[in-house]
Amino acid sequence: MQAEGEDDAPPEERFARSDFTAGGSDQLSFSKGDKLLIHAKPSSDWWWAELLGVRGYVPASYLQEEEEEEEASLEDPWQDEEYFGSYGMLRLHLEMLSDKSRTEAYRQVILSNSASLRSKVVMDLGCGTGIISLFCAQLAQPSVVYAVEASSMAEYTRQLVKQNECQEVVTVLQGRAEEIELPEQVDVLVSEWMGNCLLFEFMVESVLLARDRWLREGGVMWPSSAAFTLVPCQADRYYAEKMAFWERPYGLDFTPLQPLAKQEFFTKPKFSHLIEPSECLSAPSDVICLDMYTIQVKDLEEIRGQFHFDVEKPGVFHGFTAWFTVYFESLQTGGPTVELNTGPNAEPTHWKQTLFMLDRPVSVYTGDSIRGTIVLRRNPVWRRHMSVTLHWNIDSSSMETSNCKVGTKTFPMWR
């Protein structure tokens, strides 16, 4: 039940134990004893840090952290207080409930399966304000719906259930999925667990744990499967706004600020991006597919996909845009599958799309191909965070493209 993500991680302080002189425009110089703010740890060797308002990569081996700070940072690797605290307020719920595509998709799932839900036992995990549970109670006739919510919103959900006269069907349970106790197994496990780039914040782990513990054999998962989609794209407006702007603002040469702009705006993914279909350089491709019945928690640590795009029109390759689609199988054999698509050819959702910018744009031409891999890697310490690594290779006969054929870039994703 992820709303719009945040770009920055909560920074942690590290102290320089040695001097370091930057060897490139992406690196940050510092002296022994300087206090650096660490924003991201894309790899074990190089971290993304800030000193006196300037950001850049620093070698992790040159830094040290006070012992008590290290212990404090590991007390809550899930950041539960912050995470569930945010869902205890209305801002995110307003955003999600206002997302008509999202909410109507779940309503349609319940409506199209209303006859088959009769007398079934349902768990609505991460129910929030209880909208899906209320749909079940009003549109179908399940025997019971267990509405599970870990945040303080659960108390208001109880009031909403009573206000809508659904208390005979819906039972609200406050607690984490890993801790709650139910009196019985469930026939249907429904949850809205998706985050930016599908997995961000990893609520999906709680869903899988609940599946293994409470879903009866032959029970149904909603969503039943998911696909993560990627496409190479142009991003002329965003590039002009964040990078080309510095070329001649007000008739002055500000190009020395472009390396800093690249560090600040292109190192992290751009959430809430809206790509126009015309900005896609090729047909999109599903690069990762998840089967919600078979995927295991251990599989979430690192998920890999491959891609091969054939460029369909000449243009400027600025980066990749990603989105996801989830599918809800019917409870009836041969019944219709409902889908929720967050891509550019569907009605916009609150997730929108996610843009990953290259450091330098590349001109591509009809007939070129872009091949590569994508890796979604979970942060080993901060369990709701992850990184996305893209490796690409451009096959082209153009001399203009020949110097930029291969690239790799890692994007940290933080709350």
Instruction: Write out pLDDT tens, residues 278-319.
Output: 999 999 999 999 999 999 999 999 999 999 999 999 999 999
Q: How confident is the model at residue 8 (pLDDT cuts 50, 70, 90)?
A: very low
Write phi, then psi, for 153 (nearest 5 degrees): -60, -20
Instruction: List, by residue number, the catalytic residues.
Output: 192, 201
Pick the range with the lowest mean pLDDT from 58-67, 104-113, 272-281.
58-67
pLDDT surpasses 50 at 344: yes
Q: Does domain 12-64 have CATH number 3.60.21.10?
A: no
* Range 46-63 average pLDDT: 81
Within 10 A of 69 (CB to CB), how many other CB atoms are there? 12
Q: Which helix (H) or strand (E) holds 162?
A: helix 153-163
Q: Say if 12-64 and 229-285+313-413 have the same CATH topology.
A: no
Domain boundaries defined on the chain: 12-64, 229-285+313-413
Residue 210's SS3 state is helix
Residue of higher predicted confidence among 24 and 309 = 309
Q: Which helix (H) or strand (E) holds 315?
A: strand 315-328
* The predicted structure's pLDDT at residue 2: 44
- The reply to whether the predicted model has a pTM over 0.75 is yes
- Tokens representing 42 are 């894309």
Residue 91's SS3 state is helix
* The predicted structure's pLDDT at residue 58: 84
* Range 125-154 average pLDDT: 97
As a whole number of angstroms, the distance between CA 190 and CA 194 comes to: 12
Q: pLDDT tens for residues 56-77?
A: 878 887 787 644 344 434 567 7
* The predicted structure's pLDDT at residue 67: 42
**Residue percentage of the chain with pLDDT more than 90:** 76
* Range 144-161 average pLDDT: 97
The class level of CATH for 229-285+313-413 reads mainly beta
